[in-house]
Amino acid sequence: MARVAIVTGGTRGIGEAISVALKDMGMQVAANYAGNEERAKAFTERTGIPAYKWDVADHAACQAGVAKVESELGPVDVLVNNAGITRDSTMKRMDHDKWQQVIDTNLGGCFNMAKAVFEGMQTRGYGRVVNIGSINGQAGQYGQVNYAAAKSGIHGFTKALAQEGARSGVTVNAIAPGYIDTDMVAAVPEDVLAKIVAGIPVKRLGQASEIARGVAFLVAEEGGFITGSTLSINGGQHMY
């Protein structure tokens, strides 16, 4: 039986590349998305991967969304928590909404989705969870107290959940991407981005497929001894 995978934010950017990579591994993939119907429709037409709409920040919607995927495709073996948003601004201009939206989506979304699938994985004795963190959760970033806090939280979440899954064959790992050529990074002001790229040792943005390759590695059947780890894929921008 093909493994069943859910990729949140799976119809665009890094998520799209992950959805395609998992399909290429022979998995049955459900790509979740929150709002962009047009892009989701085009994604399904292009890839043949079904798209499911719900907001990962909404706990009840995650329960219902996972139940729908499981009734159509079967129990979820692989969860990739990729959905994320930015609301960048300096602390001075950051209102409470910008803080809360990013925490609720980027970090709360990981909890909501894991809550819906983790117990089933433990019961069945197999699971792969990959959470997409960020270089900015490791190193911090000017203008991103919300995003850096949420992504840093993801790295702690990963290490804690990995300990709970270990005895039942459920691995939990994180990837910390650097600056990848996506809509999210394209929204950074041009002059700011040029300075950031100049500081990346390989002197270019990463490609979404370069993150997907890391996810494919972590979710492989042979990956049972890799858990609680963080794989940094950032062109050498932050090493530790």
Q: Rule CB under 6 A: which residues touch ligand CAA?
A: 86, 88-90, 134-136, 141-144, 147, 177, 179, 184-185, 188-189, 192
Question: Is 126 a residue of the active site?
Answer: no
The residue (of 14 and 116) whose beta carbon lies closer to ligand CAA is 14
- Output the smallest distance, CB 56 to ligand CAA, in A: 17
The residue (of 19 and 136) whose beta carbon lies closer to ligand CAA is 136
Cα 141 to its chain centre, rounded Å, is 19
- Output the smallest distance, CB 16 to ligand CAA, in A: 16
Among residues 52, 126, 142, 147, which one is catalytic? 147
The residue (of 192 and 194) whose beta carbon lies closer to ligand CAA is 192
> Which residues, listed in sequence order, are joined to residue 81 by a DSSP beta bridge?
131
- Output the smallest distance, CB 135 to ligand CAA, in A: 5
The residue (of 105 and 134) whose beta carbon lies closer to ligand CAA is 134
The residue sitting closest to ligand CAA, measured at its beta carbon, is 143
- Output the smallest distance, CB 83 to ligand CAA, in A: 13
- Output the smallest distance, CB 196 to ligand CAA, in A: 6
The residue (of 142 and 202) whose beta carbon lies closer to ligand CAA is 142
DSSP string computed for the chain: ---EEEETTTTSHHHHHHHHHHHHTT-EEEEEESS-HHHHHHHHHHH---EEE--TT-HHHHHHHHHHHHHHH-S--EEEE---------GGG--HHHHHHHIIIIIHHHHHHHHHHHHHHHHHT-EEEEEE--HHHHH--TT-HHHHHHHHHHHHHHHHHHHHHGGGTEEEEEEEE-SBSSHHHHTS-HHHHHHHHHTSTT-SPBPHHHHHHHHHHHHSGGGTT--S-EEEESTTSS--
Cα 19 to its chain centre, rounded Å, is 11
Residue of 156, 158, 199 whose CA lies nearest to 178: 199
Residues marked active site are found at 147
